Amino acid sequence: MKILPKVAIVGEPSAGKSTFFNRLAEQRKAIVSETRGITRDRLYSKAEWLGREFTLIDTGGIVLKDAPFSKEIKVQAEIAMKESDVILFLVDGRLGITEDTLSAAKLLKKVRNKVILVVNKIDDQTLLGDAYQFYSLGFGDPFVISAIHGIGIGDLLDEVCSRFPKEEEIGSSDDKSISFAIIGRPNVGKSSLVNAMLGEERVIVSSMEGTTRDAVDTAFTREGKNFIAVDTAGLKKRGQIYESIDKYAALRAMSAVEKSDVAVVVIDADYGLTDQDQHIAGIPLEESKPMIIVINKWDLHEHGQNEQEEYKKTLIKWMPFISYVPVVFASAKNKQNIDKIFKAIEIVHEQAGKRIPTSLLNTVVRDAQLANETPLFKGGRVKINYATQSDTYPPTFVLFVNNPDFMHFSYLRYLESTFRTQFGLTNVPVKIIMRKKQTGGFKI
């Protein structure tokens, strides 16, 4: 798994953070389409420049209710310093230096080597003089841009990418451990669950410094199998102002999911389903990461099997994109069904690592086309000529097609369902990539 560099945007509301964020995120729109079925949390987005991917964080999406902006920007700066490799300090070139600008600059000087000063809203040459005053902030030469018109963005991104650390890979084929991240909105019982999973009859092997600045990953053995609980330090933090902020919880979850094999999404059975449960469950989906859902605090309900089935139906209605995901009803407090959580983690991890023989894959694709014809287009019918598996975690299949532009998403869903059924991938995401068949290429 590749750990992407993180770039945070910090600045006043008037600086144009949203426009700037959308401009940078737009660079990748042609490469990755919006995931179906979920509301995207725009606090973060993948972005790309000249083949280098990174995660873009808009700290401006973090708003403290009834708090003055000076407090908000302090929280923004602290999160940026904590979570990112590069900080883009965005200022309003027309407004000039304000007290809030000076306050943010004072905080960011603690990590001066991470900071790039960006002066926005310089739409033409006559406004360049407005940018000179920002030299006094002490971050060196500012990058002068217009986010709304795209001026100066390329030079800025060149500088951003030059500051990234060396690309880091997490895990290898020799690593037999299964890493999992426990994620969920605040107060659903994540800490209690990780304590229950690391509890009795477990041998703690070591604590390892994680990629996230203060994250600790805890390696342990259970029944002879090796596991790594990702970012256990982040789960146990208390009393910090931004730990109670819903959107920060989503950001923290994204970081943990990125470096894990399996995501464990925790939902509070006693509280009911919320929009943020949906957002956080969407994080592993967007990352094409295997996941399970744990309905915690089930001990507070005198429920039988029928009630569990009804709850699952409600859950899938609320989050239709998780219909294939295993659901475990548990109680961290009473250590109820902890064994079932581990079993579900092992199942999805095993499925996600499956390799399908190419001959079998092409037989299934051929039979699928015979059973359900591909879409028509002017001049013919879409034809899948050849298929191969390009990757695991998740299982990723490449289809060589005569005219991929006319392949309908509903047919891809049909193939996805077929692959899950035929190859024993019933509980994991399946990725399908289409390539245009070259002349004289393979045929099924």
Q: What is the pLDDT of residue 200?
A: 45
Q: Give dist(CA 279, CA 319) in Å, integer.
A: 10
Cβ proximity of 260 and 289 under 8 Å: yes
Question: Span 165-172, mean pLDDT?
Answer: 58
Q: Give dist(CA 36, CA 40) in Å, integer.
A: 10
Tell me the two tokens of residue 342: 């581990």
Of 178-187, 233-242, 278-287, 401-410, give the lowest mean pLDDT range.
233-242
Give the model's confidence band at 250: pLDDT under 50 very low, under 70 low, under 90 confident, else very high: low
Q: What is the pLDDT of residue 70?
A: 61
Q: pLDDT tens across 92-116, in order?
A: 988 889 887 888 888 888 888 999 9
Tell me the two tokens of residue 332: 């961290």
pLDDT over threshold 80, residue 173:
no
Q: Which of 115, 158, 148 is nearest to 21 (CA)?
A: 148
Q: Average pLDDT of the chain?
A: 80
Q: pLDDT tens across 294-309, in order?
A: 999 998 776 677 888 8
pTM, two decimal places: 0.67
pLDDT over threshold 60, residue 311:
yes
Give the model's confidence band at 175: pLDDT under 50 very low, under 70 low, under 90 confident, else very high: low
In degrees and rounded to multiples of 5, residue 185 shows phi and psi of -70, 165
Q: Which of 140, 393, 92 is nearest to 263 (CA)?
A: 393
Q: Which of helix, strand or coil describes residue 81? A: helix
Cβ proximity of 257 and 181 under 8 Å: yes
Q: Give dist(CA 261, CA 393) in Å, integer.
A: 8
More confident residue, 444 or 327: 327
Domains of the chain, CATH where assigned: 2-162 (3.40.50.300), 171-352 (3.40.50.300), 358-436 (3.30.300.20)
Give the model's confidence band at 202: pLDDT under 50 very low, under 70 low, under 90 confident, else very high: very low
Of 171-175, 219-223, 226-230, 267-271, give the lowest mean pLDDT range.
171-175
Q: CA geometry: angle at 103 spanning 97 and 108, to 5°? A: 105
Q: What is the pLDDT of residue 155?
A: 94
Q: What is the pLDDT of residue 234?
A: 47
Rounded to 10°, the helix 338-352/190-197 angle is 90
pLDDT over threshold 60, residue 209:
no
Asked whether the CA dihedral 55, 60, 61, 64 is positive or negative, the reply is: positive
Q: pLDDT tens across 12-60, in order?
A: 777 888 788 888 876 443 333 333 333 334 467 778 888 888 988 877 6
